[in-house]
Amino acid sequence: MVQPADLVCKDITKDFNDFRAVDHVSFEVPQGSFFSILGPSGCGKTTLLRMIAGFQFPTSGDLLIKGKSMIDVGPNKRPASMVFQHLALFPMMNIGRNVGFGLRQRGVDAAEIKERVGRVLERVGLPGVENRQVDQLSGGQKQRVAIARCMVLEPDVLLLDEPLGALDLKLREHMKIELKSLQAEFNTTFVYITHDQSEALVMSDNIAVMNKGRFDQVGTAKDLYYEPANAFVAGFVGDANKFEGTITMIDGAAASLETKGGLVLRGQVSSGTPAVGQRAQIFVRPEAIELSKTPIDPVDHPNARAHIVDSVLFNGANSLVVLRDPKSGETIKATLPQIGDFLRLSKGETVFSNWHPQQARCFAIEDS
């Protein structure tokens, strides 16, 4: 049986005067899944979320929650609740009254409110905090109260507006895992917006990458990371080395690109094959680059070349080494293996690097 999607957006557009914030966006979120909208600030993701919540109305298009159109339905009548960026817990009420606010608005009787508030606080792991004040809780606890305040209403869709942004790094890492397990526990559809790609990659079932009001790509974390649809997605999701140059040769899916400095690189074309002579970009992930202390045969390995170590960026397991091409002077970042000779790699040493053309993506530069 095919379940109807909890949230369906059909061709949604939002204009502010002469600025188009959201441009013909369509997507579906199946029941019980974690959907993230990832994009840089100003890409329109907040506007999109506020339209789903009902604080703004689309200029055109339709929005359905559980199959019912939400156009002309106020935010207080929609089966969607929102966790705000700064949580927006009511400081004038204690935790119990905060969580019970929505139930009071629905006219649920006091005894039942008390019971349901107690139950939801237990589920988010904060039993018995009803009588505390908002400022007596830590950042992570407030986060959970904000989620409990929405979940007590049993919404069909829970919207989250970068709620982890204000937390410190350690707590953020912890809350990522916790949010994911809360989502599994409640089995509610989560729509999460963020500009932090690691939040999106870790938690989501599906991610939409948004840029300039449009969805550039919708897919799983792995899809976005390994099969980016365009240059923006390749550059925005994960770390990547970017080279710009002119296409010198096309051979099936393989392309050769020559940079300004005369560096010739091989990569794979995925969509919109560029023509010879056209300007293009090649993206290579730092972890796709293989390092060696001995020369690599350039006949079988078109991307093999000798580099000089420019600097070592030590960051534990995520350490990087910046390599400089002696001829063109271009630099490339590679993951530094924490084994053997590479442990004591220092500036000025010669290192041989190589990557498989299939692990590099080549995109034509669209003339704008």
Partner 1 sequence: MVSDRSKLGFYLLLSPLLLWLVTLIILPHVGLFFVSISEKVGVREYEIGFGNYAVFFNEPLYWRTFARTAVMSILTTGLTLLLGFPIAYYIAKLMRGRVKTTLFLMCLIPFWVSELVRTFGWMILLRETGVLSNFLQYIGLIEGPVEFLYNDAAIMVGLVYTSILFMIVPLVTTLDSLDDSLIEAGYDLGGTGLSILREIVIPHAMPGIVSGCIVVFMLSLGNYLTPILLGGKDSLWFTDLIYTQFITRFNWELGSAFGFLLLGLSSAIVFAGLKLSRQSLTNTMGR
Which residues bind to partner 1, rule: CB under 8 A?
53-55, 74-77, 81-82, 84-86, 88, 90-93, 101-102, 104-106, 149-150, 153
Compare residues 94 and 311 and give the one whose CB is closer to partner 1.
94
Token couple for 248? 């010198």
> Shortest Cβ distance from residue 202 to partner 1 (Å)?
26
Compare residues 86 and 174 and give the one whose CB is closer to partner 1.
86
> Shortest Cβ distance from residue 107 to partner 1 (Å)?
10
- The CA-atom distances, in angstroms, between 208 and each of 29, 119, 152 are 11, 34, 28
Residues in the chain: 368
> Shortest Cβ distance from residue 54 to partner 1 (Å)?
8
> Shortest Cβ distance from residue 142 to partner 1 (Å)?
13
> Shortest Cβ distance from residue 55 to partner 1 (Å)?
6
Compare residues 108 and 345 and give the one whose CB is closer to partner 1.
108
Compare residues 105 and 271 and give the one whose CB is closer to partner 1.
105
Q: In this structure, are strands 214-219 and 68-69 parallel, antiparallel, or unpaired?
A: unpaired
DSSP conformational letter for 263? -
DSSP conformational letter for 84? B
Compare residues 105 and 350 and give the one whose CB is closer to partner 1.
105
Compare residues 157 and 289 and give the one whose CB is closer to partner 1.
157
How far is residue 278's CA from residue 365's CA, in Å, rounded to a whole number? 8
> Shortest Cβ distance from residue 215 to partner 1 (Å)?
24
Three-class secondary structure of residue 295 per DSSP: coil
- The CA-atom distances, in angstroms, between 307 and each of 51, 101, 197, 301, 319 are 51, 63, 30, 15, 17
> Shortest Cβ distance from residue 150 to partner 1 (Å)?
7
How far is residue 206's CA from residue 160's CA, in Å, rounded to a whole number? 15
How far is residue 52's CA from residue 49's CA, in Å, rounded to a whole number? 5
Q: Would you give the distance in Å from CA 134 to the centre of its chain? A: 30
- Name which of 59, 65, 72 is nearest 9 in CA terms: 65
Compare residues 82 and 265 and give the one whose CB is closer to partner 1.
82
